[in-house]
Structure 1
Amino acid sequence: MLFLKSRYDEMILGGQMLLTIVGNAWESNSPDDKSCTVWELLGNTLYDMVLEGFIEEPKLDEFNLPYYAPAEEEVKKAVEAEVSFDIRELETYKMDWDSSASSEIGLQGKSVAGSIRAIAESLFASHFADVNMDDLFERYAKKVTEYFEVVKGQCTTMLISMTKELEK
């Protein structure tokens, strides 16, 4: 992994690195894992805009959002394959989608939409140049809010503590 190789070059021997990444609980076959729901809701929002004529369906069909949430075992294998880091601790836990926001569901929906907008807006804006991004993310916030009224949104998060070792 280029990321780990780059960090290896920057760190001193014995230096520690702590990463927090979004993962999934698929290996545990958890039927209530909702790690990808945030992206599904965004896809549903885009499709609604197709139905309303704001986005052409072929434009949506050709869009690809590069997203992957690894399972804990995949992360272990990737770090071990790098051989220059020793995993001190790897913990997987559930976290509320928006634990920092107000308990008011509408504000939580807006906060989640704002976070996803910060992550992915440039991809959407370059592919869907004619779409009003404010409109897209306002619609998305409403969808997230509707979801929160029924389900407590959570994601699977991994915390990885690593130490730089001598290359083997």
Structure 2
Amino acid sequence: MENNRAGRPKSCRRVKEMPKVRCFKPQGIPGIKLEEMVLSVDEMESLRLADLEGLYQSEAARRMDVSRQTFGRIIDSAHRKVADAIIHGKSIVIEGGVVMKREEQVHNAKPGCVCQHCGHEESHRSGLPCRDMICPECGHHMIRKGGCGTGQEDI
């Protein structure tokens, strides 16, 4: 899994669909001459939910399976990147992020925790997130079975 602040794994973000178009650029300028601005798939999803669908941040966060505060950081980053690309004539490349399509979440949802390193499975303990559990077999952190890390796109 991808890491962010202080080595904490980035949580899985749910998206409606993967992008059909992965690059936008200013007209009339060869792509090789343009600086790229990378917009992650979860940032694109935040733009879709907040700006295209007009959802409040709390509802958009629920749909992406993140906190409202995390959604706020994602959408702020997306807005800054898009504004920078438009104002400074950069291409926008959509890639990256730890995401899972929402349908996969429903179909793959299974109770329990699993170690990504050795595959050991444990029952989920109420009140203890899987990511805080340590695998008794190999000592690595565990993840929620059926969540990101098992079937997600880390692109």
Q: Larger helix proportion, structure 1 or 2?
A: 1
Q: Structure with the greater relative contact order (CA < 8 A, sep ≥ 6): 1 or 2?
A: 1
Instruction: Give the TM-score of the pair, scaled to structure 1.
Output: 0.29
Instruction: Give the TM-score of the pair, scaled to structure 2.
Output: 0.31
Larger radius of gyration: 1
